[in-house]
């Protein structure tokens, strides 16, 4: 694993040890650290992809393509630009207010709400970006895992119902 936070690396090492896993952990910036090719699996979690600028995303995908072993896999989790909550907030709120509303609705401190770049977060745009970087997309699954609005009574239930509805095959394009 790689992270620029020593605390996160310590946490990941402890988790790996508890699970009896052998994992190499590197302290550093994945956009800057040089890694040797031959990595079987690269995973990006915690919405890091949407926090990167378009040029940083391009660099990341190129680096992943360089370090993956033949047949290697890259798994990335990132919010979908067509998620109903993301769409609604972009239509209703000026960009400067979205962080403040997100902090309130999600029940998080403002310092933990980061700028996002949803321009590349559709099936088509992600696939095209990956292909330009020399990656082949084997599978792309779009899903909503939990309501964003968990801190607002009633809104979380409404959003949860919407997520459930969007799992219907006929509504697949709206996810």
Q: Which two tokens mark 134?
A: 């020399």
pTM: 0.65
Q: What is the mean pLDDT of residues 29-42?
A: 88
Q: Which two tokens mark 36?
A: 């040797």
Contact assessment for residue 127 and residue 76, using Cβ atoms and an 8 Å cutoff: no
Q: What is the pLDDT of residue 92?
A: 77
Give the pairing type, strands 2-3 and 68-76: unpaired
Asked whether residue 106 carries a pLDDT value surpassing 80, the answer given is no
Of all residues in the chain, what percent carry a pLDDT higher than 70? 69
d(C-alpha 83, C-alpha 161), whole Å: 14
d(C-alpha 134, C-alpha 126), whole Å: 13
Give pLDDT tens digits for 112-121.
666 665 555 7
Q: What is the pLDDT of residue 142?
A: 67
Answer with the residue of higher pLDDT: 6 or 149.
Answer: 6
d(C-alpha 143, C-alpha 78), whole Å: 10
Residue with token string 């970087």: 133
Residue with token string 């801190």: 151
Q: What is the pLDDT of residue 155?
A: 65
Q: What is the pLDDT of residue 164?
A: 65
Q: What is the mean pLDDT of residues 79-89?
A: 70
Give pLDDT tens digits for 2-15.
888 888 889 889 99
Answer with the residue of higher pLDDT: 144 or 48.
Answer: 48
Give the pairing type, strands 39-44 and 68-76: parallel
d(C-alpha 98, C-alpha 103), whole Å: 8
d(C-alpha 147, C-alpha 134), whole Å: 34
Q: CA dist 61 to 29, 54, 120, 130, Å?
A: 14, 11, 12, 6
Answer with the residue of higher pLDDT: 93 or 29.
Answer: 29
Rg value, the chain, Cα: 18
């Amino acid at each position: 694993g790689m992270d620029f936070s020593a605390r996160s690396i310590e946490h990941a090492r402890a988790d790996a040890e508890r699970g009896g896993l052998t994992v190499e952990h590197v302290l550093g910036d994945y956009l800057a650290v040089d890694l040797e090719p031959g990595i079987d699996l690269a995973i990006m979690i915690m919405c890091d992809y949407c926090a990167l600028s378009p040029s940083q995303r391009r660099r990341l995908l190129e680096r992943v393509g360089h370090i993956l072993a033949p047949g290697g896999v890259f798994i990335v989790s990132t919010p979908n630009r067509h998620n109903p909550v993301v769409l609604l907030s972009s239509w209703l709120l000026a960009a400067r207010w979205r962080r403040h509303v997100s902090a309130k609705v999600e029940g998080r401190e403002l310092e933990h709400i980061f700028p996002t770049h949803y321009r590349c977060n559709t099936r088509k745009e992600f696939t095209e970006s990956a292909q330009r970087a020399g990656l082949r997309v084997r599978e792309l699954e779009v899903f909503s895992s939990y309501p964003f609005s968990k801190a607002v009574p009633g809104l979380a239930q409404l959003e949860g119902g919407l997520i459930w509805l969007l799992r219907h095959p006929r509504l697949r394009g709206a996810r």
